[in-house]
Amino acid sequence: MKLAGVFRNEKDMKKLKKIIKDLQERYKKVTIDDKGNAYNMDLFEAFEVGNLLSFSEVMIEAAIARKESRGAHYRTDFPKRDDKNWMKHTFAWNPRSSTAFSGSWERIFLWFDDDPRWVARLCSGF
């Protein structure tokens, strides 16, 4: 959590990205001692570590891409919230066939029940 906790910056997150990449390389050499077919916890745990490493890579890439502070995530290099450019959800994935990060952002629509103008804006996409 030291490099990408609540308080974060791009320099530290890039260090963490390298650590994750190094761990992914080490993970390629994982072996399973238990060769059993039923309730094989060694296999399950090795599989889970691989999933956590993949998810960690996607999370850190998305965190680096978001150039603002929002909610409980404070970027010391981007201390202000930027609703104009970042009022978006982050959708990120790492396809198994590639080591490349992919991502997209979808606009967030605000809904206020007591103001019918927001309903019209929501329906029209603005």
In a domain, 1, yes or no: no
Instruction: Give the phi and the psi of residue 4 in degrees, each rounded to 5.
Output: -145, 50
User: Is there a domain that residue 97 lies in?
Assistant: yes
User: Residue 11 domain-assigned?
Assistant: yes
Please check whether residue 48 lies inside any domain of the structure: yes
Residue 55 lies in a domain: yes
Q: What pLDDT does residue 90 have?
A: 73
How high is the pLDDT of residue 103? 62
Interval 64-122: pLDDT, tens: 988 999 888 899 999 999 888 888 777 776 666 555 555 666 665 554 455 544 444 44
Q: Which domain holds residue 41?
A: 7-124
Burial of 92 (0-12, 13-18, 19+ CB in 10 A): middle
Residues 32-51, mean pLDDT to the nearest whole number: 90
Q: What is the pLDDT of residues 61-72, one digit of tens each?
A: 888 988 999 888
What DSSP letter does each residue of 41-62 carry, written as one string? HHHHHHHHHHHHHHHHHHHHHH
State the pLDDT at residue 102: 59
pLDDT in tens, 49-61: 999 998 898 888 8
Does residue 19 lie in a domain region? yes
Residue 2 domain-assigned (yes or no): no
Number of domains the chain is built from? 1
CATH of residue 69's domain is 1.20.58.100
Q: Are 116 and 79 a contacting pair, CB within 8 Å?
A: no
